[in-house]
Amino acid sequence: MSDVLLEQKPTAGIVLLRLNRPAALNALNLELRRTLADAFNRLDADTSVRVIVLAGADRAFCAGADLHEYVDATPSEIMERRMDRLWGAIGHCRKPVIAAVKGHALGGGCELAMHADILIAGRGASFAQPEVKLGIMPGGGATQRLTQALGKFAALNILLRGEPFSAEAALAMGLASEVVNDEHVEARALQIAAELVRLPELSLRLIKEAVLEGLSSGLDSGLRFERRSFQTLFSTADKQEGIRARLEKRPPKFNGN
């Protein structure tokens, strides 16, 4: 059985990726990491896919790294795994990614959720970066992504103490987009995905790229990218359709051009 299940949804353009190591609470072993990276690479290249929803199970979105693979690992072995490429396949995905988080999102699981663009959390979800309690530190981007999302003091409070925090706390800090009842998490994520597939594909892509450019390269670079992208969109049919539809007070019909 695959560690990652791919579920096509009735709404065209939406794919749900489900982590599938239930006995291990979806802990990230190397096989799961590679399978997930391969899935994201394929979906990013698939022109029929518009939005990706990433989900786990009721008890755990992802409980973090599989510690059985870490306990005796040496620095050279960790380096050879090229985790940067595996995380990069998700972080560099050009399409909107929505995380549907129920249960535990700990360590690498919290980092995995932070790779998404929109994060829907269940009220019973629990987040943490507990690596410091294991004598290690986050290795999937938490020191950077938490600081960018929350600021220095909130990020270091999470990273240095390693204590869990609730979905409501995540929402208050800006780490979650929405909090809903646990049983509605995936339905809400798919509802948002359905909204996104009705919007202009190139606009969505350039908005995401502009945000990531600013985060990685700074304000000036982000603003330059934004201006160029804004200008580029004036050559598209979807720009014409969107503005004319608004002026004519009718729903737009975007075609991705």
Mean pLDDT of each 10-residue bin along the chain, 257 residues long: 78 93 94 94 95 96 94 92 91 97 98 97 98 96 95 97 98 97 98 97 97 94 97 96 97 90
Active-site residue, 241 included: no
| Catalytic entry in 105, 111, 122, 140 | 111
Contact 138, 158 (CB under 8 A): no
Backbone phi, psi, residue 135, to 5°: 80, 15
pLDDT at 1: 62
Active-site residue, 65 included: yes
| Catalytic entry in 65, 99, 113, 170 | 65
| Catalytic entry in 113, 131, 167, 176 | 131
Active-site residue, 108 included: yes
| Catalytic entry in 56, 91, 107, 108 | 108
The pTM for the full model equals: 0.95
Contact 212, 224 (CB under 8 A): no
pLDDT at 221: 96
Contacts of 224 (CB under 8 A, 6+ apart): none
Structure tokens at 139: 């290795």
Active-site residue, 111 included: yes
Instruction: State the virtual CA torsion across 31, 32, 38, 42 in degrees, nearest 10.
Output: 150
All structural domains of the chain, each given as residue ranges with its CATH number in brackets, are 4-197 (3.90.226.10), 201-247 (1.10.12)
pLDDT at 9: 76
